[in-house]
Amino acid sequence: MEKHDVIIIGGGPAGATLAHFLGEYNIESLVIEKGHHFRDKVCAGGLPKGIFSILPVSVKDNFSYSSYKLFKVFYKGKLVASEIFDKPFAYGVMRDQFDEHLRQGITIHYNEKFVSYEENKNGIVVKTDKNIYKGKLLVGADGIGSMVSVLSGLNKKTKIVIAEEKEIPKKDHEESLNVFLGDFPLGYGWKFNKDNVSSVGAGALKKHYKKGLSNLIDNTYTLVKTYPISLWDRDISLFKGRIVLVGEAGSIVDPFNAAGIYHSIYSSKLLAESIKENFERGIISFENYIEKLSETIFEEFKYALILSSAFYPMLPLLGNVVFKPHILEFIANAQNESGYLSYKSVFERFSKSKHIEVKIALFILKLLKIV
């Protein structure tokens, strides 16, 4: 029976970078990945400009990516705002290439499916379709369909977005990130170039989703891939005993824009710190992991949730206020300490606004006891 300090289920950004972060602390781990090398992953592949500051030191930043300096916003098909920046404010990657890059240098078993686990006072036994392993901890980094989450009863996912994406031949070489609003009930669409294709997609809350949303942006006929995303929704259970969830398996996904890659990596960084501290203290607990999340990611997510409750339903009311170049510039530059958009800063500016539209929106949020 193979023995490892930490057994990680899932080799996406959360699982792969967790293995790197643990390695920095000389904590040995094994990643079990059900897919193969360069596995396809349905995802837009957008990254914020702060991505490089949170990557493990053992992950080189020489992966292939596209840079975006031009930000455009469309409302009901019409360009309503645009802003160009001196430096890139976001990046785009091909997920199969990016994920493979993150997996370099870690111990990983491909084409192996997690089946079950048994926990006891001395450790945890993990069974796959090919082998049996023993470890001190089991980490679920296996995404929205997490079997670790299902078998452990952790993180009952409550807020689901359905997104669809298609990759079409690139029609220009513009370094532009385009966001589309108004035609997607409580959601948005996007289009941006990366590698030799354009990513075109859209998403909406599950109960509002209608197939074919991406065609409202570009009706080029090609394969359309649909995928669910589990958003953060305040009360989530992420651990019990020797089992813990990270990344999208724990719904650590931005509740405003449904972006998950950055926070998958950041939550893995925090989890690795937690595991290191607990191993040094000789205890099995993840209370410090929750504390770290609450002070960083979840603190921002609270404001993201408030802003999403105002922005999407009240877009016709707020459009004249938010569709301004100086607002786009503020949003693109409102970074927190970890290099991600600070929703807290955006909310503070929002709540100080003298625009009557914003005051009405805030009044409605207060009536609904959202703020």
Closest CA to 147 of 116, 123, 125: 116
pLDDT classification of 352: cutoffs 50, 70, 90: very high
Work out the percent of the chain whose per-residue pLDDT is above 90: 81
242 has a pLDDT exceeding 80: yes
35 has a pLDDT exceeding 80: yes
pLDDT classification of 40: cutoffs 50, 70, 90: confident
| Domain range annotation of the chain | 2-295, 297-367
For residues 254 and 304, the answer to whether their CB atoms sit within 8 Å is yes
Per-residue model confidence as pLDDT tens digits over 334-347: 877 677 889 999 99
Q: What is the CA radius of gyration of the chain?
A: 21
pLDDT score, position 201: 96
42 has a pLDDT exceeding 80: no
pLDDT classification of 361: cutoffs 50, 70, 90: very high
Backbone angles phi, psi at 157, to 5 degrees: -70, 125
Q: Look at the block and give the residue holding tokens 């503070």.
A: 348
Token code pair at residue 94: 């091909």
Per-residue model confidence as pLDDT tens digits over 73-82: 999 999 999 9
241 has a pLDDT exceeding 90: yes
pLDDT score, position 330: 84
| Spatial separation of the C-alpha atoms in residues 58 and 16, rounded to whole Å | 11
pLDDT score, position 153: 95
Within 10 angstroms of residue 156's Cβ, the number of other Cβ atoms is 12
Dihedral angle computed from the Cα positions of residues 273, 275, 280 and 285, in that order, rounded to the nearest 10 degrees: 120
Maximum separation of any 2 CA atoms in the chain, in Å: 66
pLDDT classification of 21: cutoffs 50, 70, 90: very high
pLDDT score, position 282: 94
Closest CA to 10 of 264, 238, 212: 264
Q: Is 241 exposed, middle or buried (0-12, 13-18, 19+ CB in 10 A)?
A: middle
DSSP 259-293: --HHHHHHHHHHHHHHHHHHHHHT----HHHHHHH
Q: Sheet containing 46-48: give its strands across.
A: 46-48, 90-92, 66-68
User: How far from chain centre, in Å, is Cα 339?
Assistant: 14
pLDDT score, position 175: 87
What architecture is domain 2-295?
Answer: 3-Layer(bba) Sandwich (3.50)
For residues 230 and 263, the answer to whether their CB atoms sit within 8 Å is no
pLDDT score, position 171: 82
